[in-house]
Structure formats: C-alpha cells, structure tokens
Amino acid sequence: MSVRPIVRFPDPRLKLVASPVSDFGAALRTLADDLLDTMRAAPGVGITAPHIGIPQRLVVLELSPQQGARVYVNPHIVSASEEKLRHTEGSVSMPGVTDEIERHASVEVAYQDLDGTAHLEKAEGFLAVCHQHEIDQLDGVFWIQRLSKLKRDRLIKRYEKLLRP
C-alpha cells in the first residue's frame, strides 16, 4: 500500500472516460489499497483511479472512519430521483476550492466488488452526491463542469491564485 501522486487540474487525463475493469486479480486489490491511502493522505472522502492517472472504473469512498472504506468496481447509476439537492463539492485533483453543485437526492448504483460480484446499492443524501461525483469523474466529467461558465471561471481563477507562490 502506498500513497500515489494525484493528477491535478487541468491535466487532460481528468477528461478521459475510464475503461471497465475486467481483471479482478491481485493488481486490482493493490490499486484499491493505494487509492485508499492516497485519498486519506489528500485528504478526501472519495477518489477514483483516474485521479491517480489510471483510466479504470474504480472508486473508493470513505465518508467517515466509523463507516469504513467501500470499493466500487465498474459503478454506474441505474436510477436517480427527480428530487434534487445542493451540496458543496471539491476534488483531490483541485485542492483548496469548493462550490455548490446540484445533484439528485437519491440514486441506485450498480457495481461490482473486488471479487467481481455484482451489487446494487441505494444511496441518499451525501452518499448519493459522492456516487454521482465519482461516477462523473469515471465518465470524464470533472466536477466543475457542473457549474455555470461564470462560476467555473471564477473558481479556476481562485484555484490558480492558490497555486501562485
């Protein structure tokens, strides 16, 4: 297990659509462990393989230490509520800036575990937001693309200012 370098915005790899995982061997478990270590070091509550430059459909979420980490392989949203909510979001690939994003209040997510077994999970509130955020990343949609152009431009300027010495 190790902490890996995180791909930073505006790296073009953050716009790539991740490939489905087909090999459920030891390398996948190692990658999941490394993602967890990297996410905790960042710190964050969610991370995808593309965040460390690996274009595979793998997500690790840990909303709290009490709940523990969950690994989602090849996740996709099966259904989403009509009801929406707004939540403050950010990214390990763009540290130091956040903004409010509108998302579905609840979703159903189909995924596989590290052994390749299929699962279906219903999620509401913050967990639903996290699923949508990370699955967007797997689909090559960086979270700031959900903002209006004006808000996105302002956020990028704030981020660039943070990077200046």
Section 24-48 average pLDDT: 97
Residue 5 within a domain: no
At 90-134, the pLDDT tens digits run 999 999 999 999 999 999 999 999 999 999 999 999 999 999 999
> Is 2 domain-assigned?
no
Cβ 8 vs Cβ 53: under 8 Å? no
Look at residue 3 and tell me if it is in a domain: no
Residue 155: per-residue pLDDT? 98
Q: How far is CA 54 from the centre of its chain?
A: 13
Q: What is the pLDDT of residue 165?
A: 84
CATH number at residue 91: 3.90.45.10
Q: What is the 3-state secondary structure (H, E, C) of 71-137?
A: EEEEEEEEEECCCEEEEEECCCCCCCCCEEEEEECEEEEEEECCCCCEEEEEEEHHHHHHHHHHHHH
**Cross-strand bridge partners of residue 85:** 103
Q: Is 28 inside a domain boundary?
A: yes
Would you say residue 140 lies in a domain?
A: yes
| Residue 145: inside a domain | yes
Give domain status of residue 54, yes or no: yes
pLDDT for position 1? 74
The pTM of the full predicted model, rounded to 2 decimals, is 0.96
The pLDDT of residue 2: 94
Residue 20 forms part of a structural domain: yes
Q: Can you give the residue range of the structural domain that contains 67? A: 12-163
Number of folded domains in the chain?
Answer: 1
Residues with catalytic function: 134
